[in-house]
Amino acid sequence: MPRKAQIFNIHDLERYDEEPLTNVFLFREEEFWACILYFRPGQVLRRHSHEHEHEVFDVLAGHGTIWLDGEAVQTRPGDVIFVPAGVEHGFENTGDEPWIIRATIHERTYARQALQRAILKRLGKLER
């Protein structure tokens, strides 16, 4: 399948579900993908970590707290936060307006995964 560029507008995608947040998928290309995280005031995503994923969070709107290895970091629009694999992190909208964050994720690739991808690609069965 040919690859195509895509354009997303965070305001067109905006919606708010119940606790702990709304996660709107944007794209996935191999081990790289992105989504938009929408938090209402007071919403919290508990602290967690990902052993095999590096993440970058771009604060697009609103204010909130990102917990990084137990430390509370206040964020504002324009902030970019890099969270390497294995680092505990969590989110809390401590502001009085919606907090919108773009999450860009890169999954670490290991030799077995790379070999599996090569085989699937050769067989024409690779899904994006």
Q: Looking at the domain that runs over 10-122, which CATH code has it been given?
A: 2.60.120.10
Q: Return per-residue pLDDT of the chain as tens, 128 residues.
A: 557 899 999 999 999 887 778 999 999 888 889 999 999 999 999 999 998 899 999 999 999 999 999 999 999 999 999 999 999 999 999 999 999 999 999 987 666 666 777 777 778 776 55
Enumerate the domain spans of the chain: 10-122
- Which pLDDT score, from 0 to 100, does residue 29 have? 86
Whether the model pTM is above 0.85: no
CB 53 within 8 A of CB 84: no
* Helix or strand run (H / E) with residue 119: helix 111-122
Give pLDDT tens digits for 49-85.
Answer: 998 899 999 999 999 999 999 999 999 999 999 999 9
User: C-alpha angle 24/12/40, rounded to 5°?
Assistant: 55
CA distance 47 to 63: 18
Distance CA 81, CA 58 (A): 6
pLDDT at 113: 64
How confident is the model at residue 126, as a pLDDT?
A: 66
Residue (of 95, 60, 107) closest to 81 by Cα position: 60
